[in-house]
Chain A
Amino acid sequence: MLTIHSSDKKVHLIPEFTYLSPTGAEREEKLWLTTTSGAKIMARVLVPSFVNPALPPLIALHGISRNADAIYAAFAASAIDTGRVLIVPRFSRAQWPIFQRIGRVRPDKAILTLITMLRSNGTIEAESFELFGFSGGAQLAHRFALLYPNLVSCLHLASSGWYCLPDMTLSYPAGLGQPARSLQSSENDLLARMRAQLTDYLRLPLSVYVGTADTIQNSTLRSKPRLNAVQGPHRLARAKSYVAHFTEAAKTHGIKPNARLILLDGCGHEFSQCAVLGGLTQQIFYNT
């Protein structure tokens, strides 16, 4: 496990909304998609003038504040600098009141539709991508990766409220064990796939980021006695717990874990603060 403090490294400062290069050679696409179920999502896609073919695209998922623009603004300059295609979907509150979890609602299909469209129009060619999520987006990101580990080359989870632990002894959705309530057939399929692909998931390179001050317990944080007991009372504790669980599960399955915890010094549960002052952007684009 690697712990990095922001005081140990150079922080990559990004002035907000000034991400395009003077040449303007980069290209931004705005896509509006309708999934097969009829739900719509929007995505901003940044294609640098030079795309490094060795770097997979980065899909970045927002949290429950739905501030996809903030993620786009924070990551754009580094995406251009490194030659990486940046894809930032936005799940609107009206269309996707819940997007963090995959169950009766299927945000995973929206992401897959987006990928299919970007492949078909030639924007991306890679068969896998790096997946980043902040807060609720991190919840979706790791659940997506549990379902489709083959599509994810690297997983970045920042400030997730809670996790689906790779543990068969804990009831789904807190773990992958027997659910406490009966599931719909489609949800049973989801759980079965997650279980079946757990070893592939545990082989993924995983980076978990959290602010050292992300310890506030309020209404935006799911809090239940059993959850708190297993994962911890706040996001900082839960991030630590998740990396520990992931590492342990990987070892149990005979896999050398590739998981690291990165603490963002002095940061709370605020994306822009984590991205700029906490060095989150630097970590994702330059330190993985």
Chain B
Amino acid sequence: MPTQLQDMFKKAKWSFSTRRVDHAQAQALDADFSVTHPGDLILGRVLSIGQHQRIQLLAGRPSTLYPGDLVVLPCGARYASDQFEGIAKIDPEGCDMLAGGGCLGRMLRRNARIKAPTRIKPLGRIMNVDGQALNVADFALPRAAGRSTLPVIAVLGTAMNSGKTTATVALSHGLTRAGYRVATIKATGTGAFGDYNNYVDAGAHVVADFTDAGMVTTYLEPLERIKRGINDLLWHGQQSGAGIAVMEIADGLFQKETAALIADEVFHKRVTGVMFACGDALAAAGGVAELARLGLKPVALTGMLSCSPMASAEAQAATGIEVVTRNQLLDPVKASQLAAMLGAIYEVSAA
């Protein structure tokens, strides 16, 4: 490999969503972007700074971006109602940084409250020594050898920022303190270190997201691919010794992939119970009704709603479902009570 290219790979800021990639396999560049697939790694140079002023690095810290910076991001789509919708297309003249964790594509729409995306000039698809494009899927966890039997508590919500991650983290921590070995999993969404780091901080025994299953993002991925990824992650958790999984499903119930997933019978069988995060009583009633239509009943309501005792009382009266606060989920007694309601058992090795 030419020294100049070697230096470029070395100097480049590799985004968090490339964390499983073996850098030693980066040996060449190919400027033919017409054959780019989602997940292909792109070496690019920052043209202008927009919405994302920083890139999330492999080391788990953000790095401020400057025009001229070299970056490595996988090509991917994104759906985030608070930010962008974009597709996995690389335009040779310039493309859009769709997520700080690393997702490069073409923006289609954006929330009115945010800036235009940071622009990246793609320099080439990163190739291995055999001339094949490096793709995050090549570095995924091994495929599951069977169907995971872990009890799974799925955390769903009305939308972004409804409190799903807070609930996922708190429940994982509460269960961990109660003695469970928890696999905390982000099943869908776009790769970023925020949620991932929060899961690690909660003390989860195993932390993994869809990137570990080979997807930069689950947006526009076929349902079967997403379900296979979920089973791979749960299998990995089980093989690593976890006794229970807390699994966050990104976005709201009406988001395309989430809607398909929660309507799926196989998913229903995989999930032992559901917690629903929302912001107010009306959202709680609507969410519970929509879940009921699909044959799911939350074991508890949580999220921003639970910050207000008045809203919680309204929601509880409207749905008949208990509202649990973050502090309650952090409590090992409450957390294990929820787990036990779903049939989860302790799996503690002999000391």
Q: Which chain A residues have a beta carbon within 8 Å of chain B's beta carbons?
A: 36, 55-56, 106, 108-109, 112-113, 116, 120, 126-129, 147-148, 150-151, 153, 186, 189-190, 192-193, 196-197, 200
Which of the residues A55, A106, A151, A189 comes within 8 Å of B179, measured between beta carbons?
A: A151
B176 CB to closest chain A CB, in angstroms? 8
> CA–CA, A128 to B180, complex, Å?
11
A200 to B350, CA, bound (A): 14
| A-side interface mostly | helix
Known: A112-B177, A127-B351, A153-B351. 7 other contacts (CB 8 A): A109-B332, A113-B177, A127-B348, A148-B179, A150-B178, A186-B334, A189-B337
B346 lies within 8 A of chain A by Cβ? yes
State which of A55, A106, A190, A196 has its C-beta within 8 Å of the C-beta of B340. A196
| Sampled A-B contacts (17; CB under 8 Å) | A108-B333, A109-B331, A112-B178, A113-B177, A116-B176, A120-B203, A128-B179, A129-B351, A148-B178, A151-B179, A151-B348, A186-B328, A186-B331, A186-B333, A189-B334, A189-B337, A196-B340
Tell yes or no: B330 within 8 A of A by CB: yes
Given A129-B351, A153-B351, A192 and B337 touching (CB < 8 A)? Answer: yes
| Chain A residues within an 8 Å CB radius of B34 | none
Residue interface bits B311-351, CB-to-A below 8 A is 1, else 0: 00000000000000000101111101100100000101111
User: In the complex where A112-B177, A150-B348, A151-B179 touch, is A190 in contact with B333 (Cβ < 8 A)?
Assistant: yes
Q: How far is the CA of A113 from the CA of B136 in the complex (A)?
A: 38
**CB proximity of B338 to chain A, nearest CB, Å:** 10
B316 nearest CB across to chain A (Å) = 11
In the assembled complex, the CB of B299 is this many whole angstroms from the nearest CB of chain A, namely 14
Identity of the chain A residue whose Cβ is nearest the Cβ of B340 in the assembled complex: A196
- Chain B residues, CB < 8 A from A116: 176-177, 203
Instruction: Please name all residues of chain B whose beta carbon is closer than 8 Å to the beta carbon of A128 when the two chains form the complex.
Output: 179, 348, 350-351
Measured CA separation A55–B351 after assembly (Å) = 7
**A189 and B351 form a contact (CB under 8 A):** no
A150 touches B346 (CB 8 A): yes
**B335 smallest CB distance to A (angstroms):** 10
Q: What chain B residues lie within 8 Å of A112 (beta carbons)?
A: 177-178, 332
Residue of B331, B336, B349, B351 most packed against chain A (CB within 10 A)? B351
A126 to B350, CA, bound (A): 8
Q: Output the nearest chain B residue to A185 by Cβ-Cβ distance.
A: B328
Task: Chain A residues near B334: list those with CB within 8 A.
Answer: 186, 189
Q: What residues on A are CB-neighbors of B350 within 8 Å?
A: 128, 153
Is the pair B351, A56 in contact by a Cβ cutoff of 8 Å? yes
Chain A: which residue is nearest B338 at the CB level? A189
Identify which of A55, A127, A189, A200 contacts B333 (C-beta below 8 A): A189
Q: If the complex has contacts A127-B179, A148-B178, are A193 and B348 also in contact, measured as CB distance less than 8 A?
A: no
Q: Which residues of A contact B330 (CB under 8 A)?
A: 36
Q: Which residue of B lies closest to A149 (CB)?
A: B346
| B325 to A: closest C-beta gap in Å | 11
In the bound complex, do residue A148 and residue B332 qualify as a contact, i.e. CB atoms below 8 Å apart?
Answer: yes
Rounded to whole angstroms, the CA-CA distance of A193 and B334 in the bound complex is 8
Report whether B351 and A126 are in contact in the complex, using a CB–CB cutoff of 8 Å: yes
How far is B350's CA from A150's CA once the two chains are assembled, in angstroms?
Answer: 10
CB distance from B65 to the nearest CB of A (A): 34
Q: A residues within 8 A CB of B336?
A: 193
